[in-house]
Structure 1
Amino acid sequence: MSTTVGAFLAGGLAACGAVTATHPFETVKIRMQLQGELQSKGHQPHHYRGPVHGVGVILRNEGIRGMYRGLGTAYIYQILLNGCRLGFYDPMRKALGSVFLHNEKAQNLGINMFCGAFSGMMGAAAGSPFFLVKTRLQSYSPFLPVGTQHQYRNAVDGLTRIHRTEGVLGLYRGIGAAMIRTGFGSSVQLPTYFFAKRRLMRHAGMEEGPALHLASSAVSGFVVCCVMHPPDTIMSRLYNQNGNLYRGVFDCLGKTIRTEGFFAIYKGFLPHLARILPHTILTLSLAEQTNKLVRRFENHILPMAAV
Structure 2
Amino acid sequence: MSLQQPRKPNLLESMACGGLAAAFAVNFTHPIELVKTRMQASGGTIGGTISGVMKNEGVLSFWKGLPFAYGRELSYTSVKLGAYAPVRNLLGAGEDSPDAPFYLKFLAGALTGGVGSVIGNPFDVCKTLAQTNTDKGTSLIGLVSNMMRDQGIAGFYRGVEVNIIRACILNATKMGVYDVTKGYVTETTGWSRKDIKTSFASAFVAGFFMTVTVAPSDMIRTKLMNQPTDAKLYNGFVDCAQKTVAEGGVLSLWRGFIPIWARFAPQATLQLLTIEVIYNNMGFSGI
Q: TM-score, normalised by structure 1?
A: 0.83
Asked whether the equivalents of residues 83 and 112 of structure 2 are also in contact (C-alpha less than 8 Å), the reply is yes
1:106 shift after superposition: 5.1
1:201 shift after superposition: 1.1
Asked whether the equivalents of residues 177 and 249 of structure 1 are also in contact (C-alpha less than 8 Å), the reply is yes
Opposite residue 255 of structure 2, the aligned amino acid is K
Provide the aligned C-alpha RMSD in A: 2.0
Query: 2:91, 2:263 → 1: CA distance?
Result: 33
1:53 shift after superposition: 5.3
1:235 alignment partner, one of 221, 232, 236: 221
**Are positions 1:35 and 2:42 aligned together?**
yes
Asked whether the equivalents of residues 105 and 179 of structure 2 are also in contact (C-alpha less than 8 Å), the reply is no
**Are positions 1:171 and 2:156 aligned together?**
yes
1:160 shift after superposition: 2.9
Query: 1:277, 1:245 → 2: CA distance?
Result: 32
1:215 alignment partner, one of 190, 193, 201: 201
**Are positions 1:118 and 2:102 aligned together?**
no
Match in the other structure for 2:87: 92
Query: 2:58, 2:165 → 1: CA distance?
Result: 34
Query: 1:72, 1:255 → 2: CA distance?
Result: 32
How big is each residue's C-alpha offset from its partner over 1:237-275, in whole Å with a ceiling of 9 and x where there is no partner? 000114521000000000110122112111111111111
Opposite residue 96 of structure 1, the aligned amino acid is L
1:116 shift after superposition: 0.4
1:125 shift after superposition: 0.6
1:206 shift after superposition: 2.8
Query: What are the ranges of 5 or more consecutive residues in structure 1 without an aligned counterpart?
Result: 37-45, 144-150, 297-307
Higher mean C-alpha deviation, range 264-273 or range 232-241: 264-273
Q: Percent identity?
A: 29
Report the CA distance shift for 1:152/1:178 in structure 2 as closer, same or farther (over 3 A): farther
How big is each residue's C-alpha offset from its partner over 1:178-218, in whole Å with a ceiling of 9 and x where there is no partner? 11111101111111101111111111233442221111100
Opposite residue 63 of structure 2, the aligned amino acid is Y
Match in the other structure for 2:3: none
Query: 1:294, 1:82 → 2: CA distance?
Result: 20
Query: 1:225, 1:292 → 2: CA distance?
Result: 28
**Are positions 1:252 and 2:240 aligned together?**
yes
Higher mean C-alpha deviation, range 128-137 or range 60-69: 60-69
Q: How many residues align?
A: 273
**Are positions 1:282 and 2:270 aligned together?**
yes
Match in the other structure for 1:159: 144
**Within 5 Å, which residues of 2 pair with 1:41-56?**
46=44, 49-50=45-46, 54-56=49-51
